[in-house]
Amino acid sequence: MSAATMQASRPVIPENKTKKVSPSLIAVYVLLIVLAVVWLLPVIYTVTTSFKSVAEFTSNAFNFLPAKWVLDNYVTLVEASASYPVLNWLGNSLIISTVFAVLSVAIVALAGFGYSRLNFKYRDTLFFVLLLISMFPAVVNMIPQYRIIASLGWVNTYWACIVPGLGNVANIFLVRNFMKGIPKELDEAAEIDGASDFQIFTRIMLPAIRPILIVIFLFSFTGAWNDFLWPTLVFNDINKMPVTAGLQLLSNQMGQYNQMGSLMAATCMAILPTLLLFLFAQKYFLQSLNITSGLKG
């Protein structure tokens, strides 16, 4: 065997190249870690504080973690359910958020279908007017909305928190652009087979836009759950208000330093449902980033 053949038959050992990390990438990661700590510390402190005893609160020593983990604050909330019905508030928020999310998905899906697939006069003009109206600050509409809600007799009812926020223009815009990316040949083929517009919507469009509808449901649910200012305006019945308005009432009447543990316990109970929703549906939250970044206007 010649020297050239032996040299050719030798295995080629790849060079050990270490990938250099740029300083800018390190700076980005450091910044993200700092932001994560800044966001997480108040949440962690809220959770740990809810397990502190009243005696630990009244002492001058500051401890991030409780010296002794107790459930006294949660027991106090249950015993004071007649004055502070936290579980009732959670149930009210669950009903409001679920109904609002379901109706929001139905309305934005129908509106997005109409603005993307149906041809009618002044379609684009109407959509432009919707976009223009959505630019107004929400506080501008609060007084007219409240007067309408009061005239309808909806104060202290679930509908006061459900109806005003339906038909979110941003979600309609999202669904409209998503549907525009679906080939119209599918509609034409279905029309040849005798399908109506409603059948095209239910059998072709809805399955195709299922991911974006799930995302809209999740964000609509969390948005309704976390809404604070509007519920405090339309609810004054302690048994009918959602958890955000209830926590405001609780903080006003139970804001003494030795009762801070019970307030933190109620806050943890309010955080838990949305936290569980995110844990079980986090892939859809992450998928929403890809969906929205891939859409073109």
Position 131 scores a pLDDT of 87
Q: What percent of the chain is predicted at pLDDT more than 90?
A: 33
**Residues 162/204, Cβ–Cβ less than 8 Å:** no
- Taking the C-alpha atoms of residue 132 and residue 34, their distance in angstroms, rounded to an integer, is 38
Taking the CB of residue 186, how many other CB atoms lie within 10 A of it?
Answer: 14
The closest of 218, 188, 215, 216 to 200, measured between CA atoms, is 188
pLDDT digits 0-9 by tens, 2-21: 555 555 555 555 555 556 77
- Written as one letter, the residue type at 214 is I
Check: CATH 1.10.3720.10 for 84-294? yes
Buried b (16+ CB within 10 A) or exposed e, 214-244: bbbbbbbbbebbebeebbbebbeeeebbbbb
**Torsional class of 156: left (φ above 0), alpha (ψ -120 to 50), beta (otherwise):** left
- Taking the C-alpha atoms of residue 12 and residue 15, their distance in angstroms, rounded to an integer, is 9
pLDDT digits 0-9 by tens, 173-207: 989 988 888 888 888 898 888 888 889 999 999 99
Position 172 scores a pLDDT of 92
Position 18 scores a pLDDT of 58
Q: What are phi and psi of 42, to 5 degrees?
A: -60, -35
The closest of 206, 218, 199 to 182, measured between CA atoms, is 206
- Taking the C-alpha atoms of residue 294 and residue 173, their distance in angstroms, rounded to an integer, is 14
Q: In the predicted model, is pLDDT for residue 158 greater than 80?
A: yes
Domain ranges of the chain: 23-70, 84-294
Nearby residues of 254 by Cβ (< 8 Å), 6 or more positions away: 84, 262, 263
